[in-house]
Structure 1
């Protein structure tokens, strides 16, 4: 397939999204992989977090990395060296066209703005999808992928590995067992952004590195000249490509109370953001960059016998009030953030992925009788997140994964 010029990229993607086409690899049924077979996996975006996702899925050769794709050759160096026999592509559309008979599943680890079109293209071919967090660039895309996973009957998993962690299940058990009574408020905070936000679009003229296909990197995003201020990783702070601190880390932190409190869709969201001043009383607003800090109030309705809940999200250095139950020398949460559940009979504090859950004051932990997890643990916990998906792919559509799109979307 010839490389499409940029002016037809969005058009072609939209047309493909409306159709259906598949050449199944196996004749035993759509999306079926015999349990004795190795799962043949293609990596779309093979640098950064993919350097964890792909090896964990490959599992020392128990399964097969069958094809690789990255728009930047520099990001693909390690993967190409590790799996030298895997065909390498720069354009995911070319990979899917040429390798569709040779792959069963894809692991997508690309900037947020490309998640939806890449995942949808793979699902339309009947390929199972592991999609790095956040699931998509906006809510509409998330709902589209959720419906597509059901329509094309494929196994899915979002890459918020903490959803497979032991601590997440332990917090879920404690909260639902009433250890701290009824929970009506929960605080969640992160140390992100650790990349620029609340800044103007950078200026300057730069040559595109020879290893990078900038046109393919932009994909469905608006046309813009190359600037090293956008990549790698720092695209997270730009609204055309990333989802800011809340989108990037909420998938990890909020997942714990989402499960423990059986939350669904909120009924209202209100956000206060930090200001940027470029001079005395000269406030600047940069719409193309997410704000430097925010506090977001999210209201959830009652769920069965559970009361309404207010969740408050903090980022950019913002934190909740320090609980009176904490001693001066005791740390609130962890260095990268934390979670505090406020119950009618006590408080529970935990870190990222629900790590180190503890009652407040900490002295209560010594005498408290706490229930063991009521939920089945995932083998190897958060490190088993990718393998859980691989095993589910071999079982076929309907097999359980911790963060399938019906939950993460």
Structure 2
């Protein structure tokens, strides 16, 4: 088949590659002048099956209300955003009951586990250069991710989540303070602030932007076509079927079109009466060049600091520090100095020796918008009109779920059996 993919982030490029690999003729359209300039550009870099729970856990409404009065709240709801997100927000809160939270966490977890497996295979087989770490690496101390807690009480929810997900193949290891330090000796300076931790050996880490661009290069090398600076403005319809897209004054025909346009997906689908409940949620990161530090003093494993709800992740010669979720009135890529300072404070609280030795000129700040669904699951599958498919709404798990979502979508396009139930991520759910 001739297939068009709309969107050049990690979801779109992964989808395009999987369809091309199966023998389809694939063209990818990206509005920006390079791949991975939006949500996929500088995220936290984790691929986790154990830390994949939806943000709307039971009691989340208390956190959102409290965030009005706390400028450093890790999940921040701005008061001026409330009127514009009332309907989405009510649906978001409706998914925070214990039963719905459990079902959504389990669905996300199953996709994450399948996706990490596919990602590791692609990185190996295609020799993708993206600072990737996974369990197959020679250095066994550098694989997996770890979450640290400042008290046993703070770890209770994560322990319960681990127990809930074990049935689906999630592996984890509970650690005392010494166990944490054995996994990451660079945490020794804050040993007194660590009560315990959870180690996730099957998790991975890597640079999502580098992965996307490396995979895009393989896509082109193998016969795929990428149109950069090409914004899809509408779809071509014929006989009540989508037959391609319009870009400027040009039309491109296809047998199937897949929309992987992150936060732009709802607007593109609106002409068909599809109201996809996806909303942009702002996140921040800083990338710190630590190439000047001796290798033995640098962190070697990704650490999630639960007390600050953020991650410090080694990526080659850099550290990526990421966190926070802001519900804002407009999706404007404006950096908040206060949020960037919070991330620098996180680095200081987790690796004070590293923080003391970095040059501010070596710090690169970034913000982006995660396409968040109301239940924390992505939308993958047919979009109610023949010839049109969607793969979007992955929220903060886009990097983790990209390859698995691509395989799931390709199976639906090819009408093959899927690894996971099709209705689990259907638009109609």
Shorter-chain TM range is under 0.3
Task: Please state which structure has a larger fraction of its residues in strand.
Answer: 2
More helix by share: 2
Normalised to the residue count of structure 1, the TM-score between the two structures is 0.25
The structure that has the greater radius of gyration is 1
Scaled by the length of structure 2, what TM-score is found?
Answer: 0.25
